[in-house]
Amino acid sequence: MELQAPGGCGSVDALLEHQQVDVALTELRGQVEQMPQERREKIGGQLVSEVMIAEGAPDVEAARSISWLVVNEIDAWFVGGRQLPAGEKPKYVVRVGVPAGSMNDDKRRDIVRRVTRVLADADIDPGRFTQATTAWVHINEIPEGNWGAGGEIVRIEDIVALVANG
């Protein structure tokens, strides 16, 4: 009998075959305390969802439970060796850590576009996000055998099984 994933996602084997796996640690680094609380919450609520969509992950609680976002406030930002002056529009670095083998070029491109759009949509000057110096998105693919949780190495098959079985 083939193990079925919840929410109509298909079988565990199908999830693996199509690499519809979601486990992401997204880190937003920037001067987010300058933003009104409403904008911070909007970004926080949307970043995880958009990364999951780009990965092709099923929108089920098990997948959401392993899709994390942390926000790191940057006290000082330097560009070219000079600290940005007070009042300068904030810059961002977003790092998305995913298991190696779960991405292809289309998914990487989609993550970059979606993350940038979330930041732009929450900003008072969304047009500035078309500039390469406003927000950088780094996709870090964690090699197989280098992701751990619960005191054990977690492999891509383990992640798929967790998402499929809840």
The whole-angstrom separation of Cα 66 and Cα 153 is 15
Domains annotated on the chain, with CATH:
22-160 (3.30.429.10)
- Is the pTM for the entire model greater than 0.75? yes
Cα 149 to Cα 68: distance, rounded to the nearest angstrom? 13
CB 51 within 8 A of CB 114: yes
| Predicted confidence pLDDT, tens digits, the chain (166 residues) | 233 333 444 443 444 444 455 678 999 999 888 788 888 888 988 999 999 899 888 788 888 888 899 999 998 899 999 999 988 888 999 999 998 888 899 999 999 999 999 999 999 899 999 999 999 999 999 999 998 988 999 888 888 888 777 7
CB 139 within 8 A of CB 111: yes
- Cβ atoms of residues 76 and 29 within 8 Å: no
CA distance 138 to 128: 19
Alpha-carbon gap, residue 154 to 72, rounded angstroms: 25
**For residue 58, how many C-alpha atoms fall within 13 Å in the half-sphere facing its CB?**
25
Q: How far does Cα 5 stand from its chain's mean position?
A: 22
Helix (H) / strand (E) containing 23 = none
Distance of alpha carbon 42 from alpha carbon 101, whole angstroms: 30
